[in-house]
Amino acid sequence: MTQIISNRTGREKIIKAEGQNTEIVILAKENKEFIEINAEVKLNKDHQFKDEYKIFLQAYETSGNAKEPWNLGTVGKTGEYSFSFNDLNIESLLFRLKIVDSKQIIKGYADEIRPTLSGLGSNSKSNIGQNSNTLLPIRESDKIRLPFAIEMSPYNKPILLVKSKHHLKEKFKWDISTKVFIYTSSIRQILTNYLSDKSYSDCPVKKNFLDRVMSNAGMEADFDEIPEYFDKNKNINIEAVEWIENITAGCIDTPVQFKGRTVNYLKIFEQDCIRFNQENTHEN
């Protein structure tokens, strides 16, 4: 007998995108000791949620801690709520909202809600990465063991995590050798993940990233020409590996604006290496 598989959960999707229809607005403000959250829930009546359904909001980090959900009352009594905590990182802070009936069945759901950040300057700004034009946003993290790592998941922009307390974020900005090493490894890894992992097959962020790196490398963005990562025997396809190497090299070995002048990171890196070698030879 044919087995029918359904992934329908019956949950209503809560609109989290900014705009007139937004049903949840979260404002996060970082003080010296804690992060202060103000949340406003405006549920659309079209969902037909019953008044007694409970509303829960949970704060979490993309890879790390999650707080116990806060009870925001019931659908019949929505409004503005505020609370605070001190053990999550504001830069990686996300929220999920759940509307729950008396049998603990989830009736409404929104995930990966990014708060609007305030108190970081004269204008409020949205969370790191997603809306910025930066190809690879950088964020400090105490959750990684090695000096840097890539955080990526489908539908989210990849983020370069650098180990906190090491001032790598600053070093990365000003030291071209560090930049070349980290960028080479990071872009290679992101491209490898994008090509090898099927969970990214429909990811629009992947398309955007590939567009950008191919454009950086001065290549035409022809997605049909990107080789499959695995061949029919499920072995790694050498053409895909070469493609990744070429795009990565194209990205690094290209003119960019750095400290107000046009530079090529790879060329500067090569010159640094040669100079270092000459200085050592002279000393000897």
Contacting residues toward another protein, per CB under 8 A: 9-11, 54, 56, 58, 60, 63-69, 87, 98, 100, 104-106, 142-145, 163, 165
Q: How far is the CB of 210 from another protein (least distance, A)?
A: 29
Output 36 or 111, the one with its CB closest to another protein.
Answer: 111
Output 88 or 176, the one with its CB closest to another protein.
Answer: 88
Q: How far is the CB of 239 from another protein (least distance, A)?
A: 32
Output 34 or 258, the one with its CB closest to another protein.
Answer: 34
Output 70 or 243, the one with its CB closest to another protein.
Answer: 70
Q: How far is the CB of 224 from another protein (least distance, A)?
A: 35
Q: Are the CB atoms for 140 and 164 separated by under 8 Å?
A: yes
Q: How far is the CB of 137 from another protein (least distance, A)?
A: 21
**Helix 176-196 crosses helix 265-283 at what angle (to 10 degrees)?**
130
Q: How far is the CB of 9 from another protein (least distance, A)?
A: 5
Burial string for 87-115 (b: 16+ CB within 10 Å, else e) reads ebbbbbbbbbbbbbeeeeeebbebeebbb
SS3 170: helix
Q: Are the CB atoms for 83 and 115 separated by under 8 Å?
A: no
* CB-CB neighbours of 27 under 10 Å: 17
Q: Are the CB atoms for 205 and 156 separated by under 8 Å?
A: yes
Output 159 or 176, the one with its CB closest to another protein.
Answer: 159
